[in-house]
Amino acid sequence: MTAAIIAPPRKESPLLFEGLTWREFKAVEQLLDRPGYRLSFLDGILEIRRMPGEPHETVKERIGALLELYLLMAGFDFTPTGSMTLESETGKVKREADKSYKLAPGRRLPDLAIEVVFSSGGINQLEAYKRLKIKEVWFWEDGLLEVYHLRGEGNTLYYEKVSSSEEVKGIDLDLFLRCINMVNHVEAVKTFQQGLQK
């Protein structure tokens, strides 16, 4: 029996407004603080993205449930930080991940940011996370998972696409992705848990 796969909705492009200062962005952010919209900022560009609703939330919560199950079973002392606001005025950047995690005690920033992509275009998310110095970023899009790990030092930071997580060591990303993409949530969690127990 083959598990059915989550069907993504039609992709939408975000609204982009260029030429804003950090101060102007913060003023606009106060005015547009509304449910269902997410604002990001990078190098004077304001991105306004409408959240796509249930399919997005279903995938986001599925990823969280599976990842937290793995982290518990693997013995990580982790803290889920959700979509906490990450910003730097000097870096001219503000971003909120769909999910984020501190993977050890005493961390100031999350070690892992996860983006569930149901839209196209917008600001360069990897550039934003690089300026925030997030060690690893996962992108789920169209049923695929891409993992990027931060490399370099100082001003020479860059993300390298990797085939396995360096922050969530030992996770079977093939099994993880297969379970993310299953339609039934309970079946997905059970399948993942059975895979972890082998």
For residues 18-43, give the mean pLDDT: 86
Q: Do 151 and 157 form a contact (C-beta atoms < 8 A)?
A: yes
CA distance 178 to 48: 31
User: Is 46 within the bounds of a domain?
Assistant: no
Tokens of 12: 């939408």
What pLDDT, in 10s, does the model give residues 157-172? 999 999 999 999 999 9
Q: Is residue 63 part of a domain?
A: yes
Over the stretch 116-153, which tens digit does the pLDDT of each residue have? 988 777 889 999 999 999 999 999 999 999 999 999 98
Q: Are 125 and 16 a contacting pair, CB within 8 Å?
A: no
Least confident residue range of 1-10, 27-36, 96-105, 146-155: 1-10
73-79 own/partner pairs: CB under 8 Å, 24+ apart: 73/196, 74/168, 74/169, 74/170, 74/171, 76/103, 76/104, 76/168, 77/104, 77/105, 78/102, 78/103, 78/104, 79/105, 79/107
State pTM to two decimals. Answer: 0.86
Question: Whole-angstrom Cα distance, residue 51 to residue 116?
Answer: 10
192 is a domain residue: yes
Helix (H, G, I), strand (E, B), or coil: what is residue 160?
Answer: strand
Angle between helices 185-196 and 54-74 (to 10 degrees): 20
160 part of a folded domain: yes
* Cβ-based neighbours of 72, under 8 Å, separated by 6 or more: none
Q: Are 6 and 36 spatial neighbours (Cβ–Cβ below 8 Å)?
A: no
Q: CATH number, domain at 85? A: 3.90.1570
Indicate the pairing of strand 99-102 with strand 79-80.
Answer: antiparallel
User: Per the domain annotation, does 145 fall within a domain?
Assistant: yes
CA angle 19, 24, 28 (to 5 degrees): 110
Asked if residue 45 is part of any domain, the answer here is no
Residue 126 lies in a domain: yes
Number of domains into which the chain is organized: 1
Q: Provide, for the chain, the percentages of residues in helix, strand and coil under a 3-state DSSP scheme, each rounded to the nearest 5.
A: 30, 30, 40
Closest listed residue to residue 196, CA positions, set 43, 60, 66? 66
Q: How far apart are the C-alpha atoms of 188 and 66, rounded to whole Å?
A: 8
Domain residues for the domain of 176 are 53-196
> Would you say residue 162 lies in a domain?
yes
Output the pLDDT for position 38: 83
